[in-house]
Amino acid sequence: MEMFLMAVCMTLFGVAVSAMAFGAATSDVREEQALATLDSKLDVALASMPERFFARDTAPTINVPPPVVTVPRVPIEVLLAQIERHVRLEHAAAESFLYDPTVESLHSRTTSPLVH
Amino acid sequence: MNTLQADLLKGLTDAQSAELLALGVRRQYPTGAELFPLGAAANSVFLIERGRVALTLPMQVQGRAEDVMVEERDGGQVVGWSGLIPPHRFTLKATAQLQTDAIVLEREVLLAHFEKHPEVGYLVTRNVASVTGQRLQIFQAMWLREMQRVIELRCP
């Protein structure tokens, strides 16, 4: 009798384990199916969105005019005088190079305001 | 002008210099007067007796075309050597910066004189070569100095 009851218990236990394993196996397939469906929906949704980098759809577009940089304009007479002075100094520097042709004399500095 | 110091007459005897100068026409240019414009046919050479001549090229400065001085010549120096060198076009504009007196020597007259006196032609041609060669070397050095600055600005 004891042996019979033990066999019945073992059988019931085996059936229960099998049922649990079957249930677990069938639920994974359903989850995978659900995830696959969700993925395909996401793909469709992403494909319909415009491509962008680090941009939000709701990013406000503000039309700000570029800052006005006020550079003091040199009077043309002053500029022409500076150019003339620059040419004279450069000419003198180049002439001195002819009399002493060295790297130092070729690249000697002048006091021209256009260079500094 | 001391003829011995004149660029164009170096190596010539006084008699040769006097004979050559007698071929030219003396002209006076008041301050601001143009000796020749850029691009014009160059048929004469100008030997400056006294005064000063600015050689300029046009440049855009603050949106305006301005003549910018690239060289200055004064007494004893020659301008307009394009009159002797093909293609006989002035590549600069020459303007008197001061009251200037110059001896203007026409190419045809000079060439005819050189035919008769080849030794004078040789010396004058050598002097012109010296003037042009020096200008080339000076501008070569000036160009390289500017290039150096461009490189320093762009690739500090």
> How far does the CA of residue A98 sit from the closest CA of chain B (Å)?
7
ipTM, interface predicted TM-score of the complex: 0.79
Average pLDDT over residues B125-153: 92
Residue A62 lies in a domain: no
Residue A55 lies in a domain: no
In this prediction, residue A111 carries a pLDDT of 84
Q: What's the mean per-residue pLDDT of chain A? A: 75
Assess whether A34 and A78 both reside in one domain: no
- Which residues, 6+ apart, have CB-to-CB distance to B20 below 8 Å? B9, B12, B105, B110, B113, B120, B124
Sign of CA dihedral B70, B76, B81, B83: positive
- Is the model's pLDDT at B117 over the cut of 70? yes
Percentage of chain B beyond pLDDT 90 is 86
- What are the pLDDT digits (tens) for B58-82? 999 888 899 999 999 999 999 999 9
**Which of B66, B142, B149 minimises the CB distance to A80?**
B66
- Distance CA(B109)–CA(B56), nearest Å, equals 27
Which positions in chain B have a beta carbon within 8 angstroms of at least one beta carbon in chain A?
59, 61-62, 64, 66, 68-72, 134, 137-139, 141-142, 144-146, 148-149
**Which of A80, A88, A93 minimises the CB distance to B61?**
A80
Domain that holds residue A20: 1-49
- Which residues, 6+ apart, have CB-to-CB distance to B10 below 8 Å? B4, B123, B127, B130
Stated pTM of the model: 0.68
In this prediction, residue B12 carries a pLDDT of 96
- What are the pLDDT digits (tens) for A70-106? 666 788 889 999 999 999 999 999 999 988 899 998 9
Q: What is the CATH number of domain B7-154?
A: 2.60.120.10
> How far does the CA of residue B148 sit from the closest CA of chain A (Å)?
8
Average pLDDT over residues A22-42: 65
Q: Do A83 and B61 touch (CB under 8 A)?
A: yes
In this prediction, residue B4 carries a pLDDT of 47
Taking Cα atoms as reference points, which of B135, B155, B153 lies closest to residue B143? Answer: B135
Percentage of chain A beyond pLDDT 90 is 15
Average pLDDT over residues A19-45: 66
Give chain A's domain count.
2
Residue A17 lies in a domain: yes
CA dihedral B103→B104→B109→B112, nearest 10 degrees, is 60
Residue A59 lies in a domain: no
Taking Cα atoms as reference points, which of B6, B136, B134 lies closest to residue B75? Answer: B6
- Which residues, 6+ apart, have CB-to-CB distance to A106 below 8 Å? A97, B141, B144, B145
Q: Do B138 and A76 touch (CB under 8 A)?
A: no
Per domain, the residue ranges of chain B are 7-154
Residues of B in contact with A73 (CB under 8 A): 62
Exposed, middle or buried by CB within 10 Å (0-12, 13-18, 19+), for B11? middle
Average pLDDT over residues B121-143: 93
Residues of B in contact with A87 (CB under 8 A): 68-70
Who wins on pLDDT, B33 or A35? B33
Q: Do B68 and A76 touch (CB under 8 A)?
A: no
Q: How distant, in Å, are the alpha carbons of A80, B29, B47, B97 from that of B32?
A: 16, 8, 18, 6
Q: Which chain A residue is nearest to residue B69, measuring alpha carbons? A: A84
